[in-house]
Amino acid sequence: MSVTLLSEETKKKEKSQLLVLKRGQNRVMVKRHRSHNLMLDAAYKYFPGNPRDVVTLQTNELDVCEGHYVDITAEIWDDVIDLLNVIEVTRGEEMTSPVPLPLRVNARHVISSHDNQSAPSRVNAQDSSKNDGKVTIELVSPSGEIQTTKISREMRVDKLIAGACKTLGHPTDFMAVQSVGGGMGAVIMKEDRSISSYNVRDGSTISLQAKCRLGKKPVIYLYSPSDIDVSVKLSLIPEWSLSVIYPVVTTEDHGQRLEWNVRTHQDGSLTEYNSGLDVSYLFWEAETNFPLSPASKPQPVDEFNPISSILDDMDSIVIPVDKATVYLDKSLKVLGLHTEARTSFITYWLPSILKHDYIALRFLPQAAYERVASLSISPQPDVVTRVFMLFRGIAEEHLAKWANAQMQAEEDVAWWVDVVGVDPASAGDAALFRVLEWGGMEVQI
């Protein structure tokens, strides 16, 4: 009996002394400081990407928050600190506050703006938009942060997108989506229309969403010690559909499944039976079904989703583009790519990389990638190596937000072997039946 009581008391003590600080996908357990300033210091210590003077603490755990993330001020710190388990760390500039996930649009609830209809929107009790020609909205960034901002009702949608992207440091290849029906649906806003042409009022939510993300040039090499017949089946999750394949074969399930039947040769070439073509590899490319396709089941934050996956300061490296080719060659070599594969990878992505001053990049864990683009190969290979890169451009003025990623770029590239989960020695063993795939995707966030 005394043991049980001790356990309960220990749990109470742990709860009173500890809480979790969260920044995006990253979490750290810290002491429950009674001082607001000490907690800000802890937030800056563990998430140093933002200057100390703009760090803000927020919560959505209390009933009064009504599900929204709200700033925790110094004045109310003593009143709420014992009631919280998780505190969100964000920037305090321009009243920015994060939300758990970006708005997701379900096809069953999408209302096309081509219908020239405006949809009902959540309205605050006091709507000042009719009085001064301006409206205060919650603008959700692609990474899931909310920026509360006041805009003119006569502003065009494309101007809103451009201004927000400039502030956030993102490219402008986004569309605006107005949340309707209490967040259960959305209106895709046409760029040539004004805000006033939609039922946007104080408190309305508008999200920026990527127009399209392409999984580009995944190519699949097959190497066997002797000539054998091989079946290669590829299955994609609903967020992706095949857009280009070679050699061409019939696709199924709305472009989300295919099968190649090939004959391998000892020189590394393949003969595809359907077309009779001799090829060096199998090629596929996919585009996202967003937002006009129903979303699949929510993905855990540590898995890859072609719609919502991002790069951040903790999981990526950041380098100037003039160092990108050397870094990529070293990384791809330790991951098991041979000379031709490394050369093809770099030359394919180089034109996109050179459009930027700096790039952030990361390689996906094979297991996460497999859950999105499943390969089923028969007979079963001895070793499968799948390397898929995510990258995005970084403007020089935003480098301060990527301090950790810049430090990680100075580390030995061998750390990617454990991240991706490959066996480079087996990948180069010519006595084994080996599969090698490489591909990538440029993301906007």
Helix (H) or strand (E) holding 324: helix 324-334
The predicted structure's pLDDT at residue 200: 86
Instruction: Give the DSSP per-residue string, 198-259.
Output: TT--TT-EEEEEES--EEEEEEEEEE-SS--EEEEEEEE-TTEEEEEEES---EETTTTEEE
Query: Residue 24 — pLDDT band, cuts 50, 70, 90?
Result: low
Q: Is residue 402 packed enough to be buried (19+ CB in 10 Å), middle (13-18) or exposed (0-12)?
A: buried
Average pLDDT over residues 81-100: 65
Q: Which residues pair with 152 in a beta bridge?
A: 134
Against a cut of 0.85, is the pTM above it? Answer: no
HSE-up of 142 (CA within 13 Å, CB side)? 29
Q: Which residue has the higher pLDDT, 402 or 208?
A: 402
The predicted structure's pLDDT at residue 440: 94
Bridge-based pairing of strands 205-210 and 174-180 is: antiparallel
Q: Return mean pLDDT, the chain.
A: 80
Q: Do the Cβ atoms of 394 and 357 come closer than 8 Å?
A: yes
The neighbour count for residue 328, using CB atoms within 10 Å, is: 23
Residue with tokens 């964000």: 90
**Residue 172, pLDDT above cutoff 60:** no
Q: State how far the alpha carbon of 443 is from the alpha carbons of 44, 90, 213, 394, in Å.
A: 27, 22, 7, 11
- Token digits of residue 48: 């140093």
Instruction: Give the DSSP per-residue string, 115-179.
Output: G--PPP----SS--HHHHSEEEEEEE-TTSEEEEEEEETT-BHHHHHHHHHHHHT--S-EEEEEE
Q: Do the Cβ atoms of 394 and 338 come closer than 8 Å?
A: no
The predicted structure's pLDDT at residue 252: 92
**Residue 109, pLDDT above cutoff 70:** no
Helix (H, G, I), strand (E, B) or coil at 393: strand
Average pLDDT over residues 89-95: 59
Helix (H, G, I), strand (E, B) or coil at 88: strand
The predicted structure's pLDDT at residue 130: 52
| Range scoring the smallest mean pLDDT among 111-115, 170-174, 390-394 | 111-115
The neighbour count for residue 259, using CB atoms within 10 Å, is: 15
pLDDT digits (tens, 9 = 90+) for 31-59: 898 888 888 888 888 887 667 777 889 88
